[in-house]
Amino acid sequence: MILPQTWWGILLGYVIVFVSGGGLCAIAQLLIIKTRLTPARILVIFLLAGIALQTFGLYEPMASVLRSGIAVPITGFGASLAKGAIEWATEYGIPGAFAGGLVNTSYGVGIAVAASYIVSVIFKPKAK
């Protein structure tokens, strides 16, 4: 979905991203409050949801409307894993299914590791 480049179109784009990303966060918060699921299990559920959406071809249409509201949370990471696995599996077979997801997400994981290291050096974390 392409919005017009007017102030109204730009504002509407921000609202769509805010509502969709906030909706995902609200779902996660409700799961934390109303169930006995741990945050780690909820993270896995969202990861698997992204994988399922990509596998069944629903992620791309949703991403074109919801934009980074659905791409930034862990669902986007799951969709990237699935997309890489599917693409590489069709080209390289079963070994590609295992490697494709890793290749697709390696840049983001590498940046996260490097940024975490830099922050830990700057702020000198202490064990409790």
- Which DSSP string do the residues of 14-58 spell out, in sequence order? HHHHHHHHHHHHHHHHHHHHHS---HHHHHHHHHHHHHHHHHTT-
Q: Is residue 2 very low, low, confident or very high in pLDDT (cuts 50, 70, 90)?
A: low
Residues of the chain above pLDDT 90, percent: 76
How does pLDDT run across 109-128, given as a tens digit for each residue? 999 999 999 998 899 777 76
Q: Are residues 84 and 102 in contact, defined by beta-carbon separation less than 8 angstroms?
A: yes
Q: Are residues 101 and 116 in contact, defined by beta-carbon separation less than 8 angstroms?
A: no
Mean pLDDT for the stretch of residues 43-64: 95
Mean pLDDT rounded to a whole number for the chain? 91
**Main-chain dihedrals φ then ψ at residue 73, nearest 5 degrees:** -65, 180
Q: Are residues 96 and 84 in contact, defined by beta-carbon separation less than 8 angstroms?
A: no
Q: Is residue 7 very low, low, confident or very high in pLDDT (cuts 50, 70, 90)?
A: confident
Whether 3 shows a pLDDT value over 90: the answer reads: no
Q: Are residues 86 and 100 in contact, defined by beta-carbon separation less than 8 angstroms?
A: yes
Q: Where are the domains of the chain?
A: 7-122
Least confident of 26-30, 31-35, 63-67: 63-67
pLDDT at 59: 95
Mean pLDDT for the stretch of residues 53-72: 92
